[in-house]
Amino acid sequence: MSPVTYALLIANIAIFGLESALGDAVVQNFALWPVGAGFEPWQIVSSAFLHANLTHLGSNMFGLWMFGRQVEAALGSARFLLLYLLSVLTASAAQLAVCSALGELQPTLGASGGLFGVLAAFALLFPRQRIILLFPPIPMPARVFVLLYAAFELFSGVAGTQSGVAHFAHLGGLIGGGLLLWFWRSRGSLAAYN
């Protein structure tokens, strides 16, 4: 049983329904806008429950379902929720910093920051567990998958490929989740898995 994972899935789907019904006003008020371009403090968290379209929602929720259940089972529900929320916060902080540095004025939305924190935790908790991608269908250990994914996100962010994707928010979530898990391990409060 993974109550927090399922609660996050339900919340994201329900909020997407509201977002679809209410239209642009939701994005205007609850997406993460750059400082000076509509930013409000609550957007740091609220933006993680909004999605651009069904594909965006589906890919994030599939990833959360795939990895969240196992991470929540290993950490417990309270720690899993803390990991997810901290990852959302570090993703938002990274995105705000990049938008400020580059002068970008576009809003950010999506659960990817939280998902990337969960991915970091998965790779640290289960480094040897095999993951098989849908495309290309190549099996690889979780730690290799996450390192390659992080390298791709960094390259894409620096090179400016895939316009409209918040690569640095993804990396911010990954770093936040990874650092929190490392902190818990350094205090001896987490067991190592394989």
- 70 — pLDDT class (breaks 50, 70, 90): very high
> Which pLDDT belongs to residue 90?
98
- Mean pLDDT computed over 67-91: 97
pLDDT, tens only, 129-156: 999 877 778 899 999 999 999 999 999 8
Domains of the chain: residue spans and CATH: 3-186 (1.20.1540.10)
Place of tokens 């950490």: 75
Backbone angles phi, psi at 70, to 5 degrees: -70, -40
> Which pLDDT belongs to residue 53?
94
Quick check: 159 pLDDT over 60?
yes
According to the per-residue pLDDT averaged within each range, which of 89-93, 104-108, 145-149 is highest?
89-93
- 6 — pLDDT class (breaks 50, 70, 90): very high
- 194 — pLDDT class (breaks 50, 70, 90): very low
- Mean pLDDT computed over 115-127: 97
Which are the catalytic amino acids? 112, 170
